[in-house]
Amino acid sequence: MTAPKPKFSANLGFLWADIPLPDAIHAAHGAGFDAVECHWPYATPAHDVTAALDETGLQMLSLNTARGTGGAGDFGLSALPDRVAQARAAIDQAIDYATAINTPNIHVLAGNAHGHTAHATFIENLHYATTQAAQRDITILIEPLNRFDAPNYFLKTTDQAAAILKEVSVPNLKLMFDCYHVGRTEGDVANRFTALRPFIGHVQFASVPDRGRPDQGTLDYAAVFKHITDAGYTAPLGAEYKPNGPTDETLHWMHIL
């Protein structure tokens, strides 16, 4: 029996990032992607994004809460004890935008923080986010980032994320499992996927260690994708890699992996 082919989502934070978001949605459709996702779409009017999604038949699978307004060092707000009001405003903004464009997942960025107070703050803000999101049938995602790219980020490992998911314990809080971050920090991506499968709400990928297209680097994505699909995961996998040139010239991996 032939194994099912994985479906792919284009992360428009990196792919076609040099053109307006509605045009990037059309480009992803033309390239054969099954869905799209993004980082921070807020500068683009929601009705323009909705029009492009309607015209292509694609769904925007996820978007991020805002990084913050405190300067270049901001990478999220929800674990910062002195920024709770701003964190919740960013959550509200993301929920409103996601509702407007029919996006089912929001990645809540924790920010650069550490310690018990940051943990308690993150938990409180996740309770707020999941409560508000549940009213719109939206899932909240959290994502550990690797220590090389984001050394000061609060959420560092999948074990830490799983413990938080158990502590909050609501059905609309899930793990963003990014094969790139897991590969860089923890290794053994396939076994980590299996162990965390009940918690996973979305999957992303890029090569390890350079975050390029997935047909290069040390991680065998043909094997990883097969493992994921064999496990029964059927949702589109998010291509969140940094193209080393025009995006259209980096897509041959879609036909060989």
**Measured distance CA(67)–CA(111) in Å, rounded:** 8
Structure tokens at 223: 């094997």
Catalytic hit among 37, 55, 143, 186: 143
Question: Phi then psi for 9, rounded to 5 degrees?
Answer: -115, 135
Rounded Cα distance, 124 and 115, in Å: 15
The token duo for 159 is 């074990």
Which strand (E) or helix (H) includes residue 35? strand 35-37
Strand partners, 237: 8
Q: How far is Cα 254 from Cα 248, in angstroms, rounded to an integer?
A: 11
Of 4, 17, 5, nearest to 240 (Cα)?
17
Please give the Cα distance from 97 to 95 (Å, whole number).
5
| Identity of the amino acid at 21 | L
Looking at the chain, how many residues does it have?
257
Q: Is 244 helix (H, G, I), strand (E, B) or coil?
A: coil
> Which among 71, 76, 70 has a CA at the least distance from the CA of 111?
76
240 is catalytic: yes
Of residues 158, 159, 124, 128, the one with CA closest to residue 143:
158
Q: Which of 37, 167, 240, 249 is catalytic?
A: 240
Annotation says 55 is catalytic: no
Catalytic residues: 143, 240
